[in-house]
């Protein structure tokens, strides 16, 4: 598992997510690992490769809530509760977004969508369980690359709300 400090990552070659983190001046650590295309779960693969509890590794999902795209950030150990997500943003109905639309809107590929540095800033909800950890890991903007940061910094940078949106 390779790690890079904030200073090492701030140069050329960063992803939009790491560039946004560097520009904001927050502390973060980049974790790189060799992505296995045959692995059945991007998030579980990341947790295993980094040796981090799946409760601390969060996946970024894009949903359609009443016709608007919304980003949900939930632990890879669980799943997204769409009804809770809709409630968290004052909506009535939520469904998973079309993957092609999610990629086009965020600027990232599926399995590498980061809640940070998206092409179009989307409303974001972070599962409330993140608050139980000093740091969490989210995608850094490509498969095989994660960024570790405090949940408070993620909330601030994405202007997210925290709400119980995950199911075990």
pTM of the model: 0.90
Rounded distance between C-alpha atoms, residue 18 and residue 125, angstroms: 20
CA 31 vs CA 1, 5, 48: distances in Å? 7, 9, 12
3-state percent breakdown (helix, strand, coil) of the chain, nearest 5: 30, 30, 40
Task: Per-residue pLDDT tens, the chain, 168 aa: give them.
Answer: 344 444 333 334 589 999 999 999 999 999 999 888 888 888 888 989 999 999 999 999 999 999 999 999 999 999 999 999 999 999 999 999 999 999 999 999 998 999 999 999 999 999 999 999 999 999 999 999 999 999 999 999 999 999 999 998
Q: Within a 10 A sphere around the Cβ of 161, how many other Cβ atoms?
A: 14
Length of the chain: 168
DSSP state of 131: G
Rounded distance between C-alpha atoms, residue 73 and residue 3, angstroms: 23
């Amino acid at each position: 598992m390779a790690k890079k400090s904030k200073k090492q990552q701030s140069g050329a070659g960063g992803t939009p997510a790491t560039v946004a983190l560097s520009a904001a001046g927050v502390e973060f650590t980049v974790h790189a690992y060799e992505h296995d295309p045959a692995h059945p779960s991007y998030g579980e693969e990341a947790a295993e490769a980094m040796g981090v509890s799946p409760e601390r590794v969060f996946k970024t999902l894009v949903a359609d809530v009443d016709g608007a795209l919304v980003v949900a950030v939930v632990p890879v150990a669980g799943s997204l509760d769409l009804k809770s997500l809709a409630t968290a943003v004052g909506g009535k109905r939520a469904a998973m977004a079309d993957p092609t639309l999610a990629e086009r809107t965020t600027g990232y590929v599926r399995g590498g969508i980061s809640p940070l540095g998206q092409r179009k800033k989307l409303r974001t909800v972070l599962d409330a369980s993140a608050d139980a950890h000093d740091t969490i890991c989210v995608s850094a903007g490509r498969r095989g690359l994660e960024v570790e940061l405090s949940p408070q910094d993620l909330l601030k940078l994405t202007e997210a709300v925290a709400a119980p949106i995950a199911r075990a």
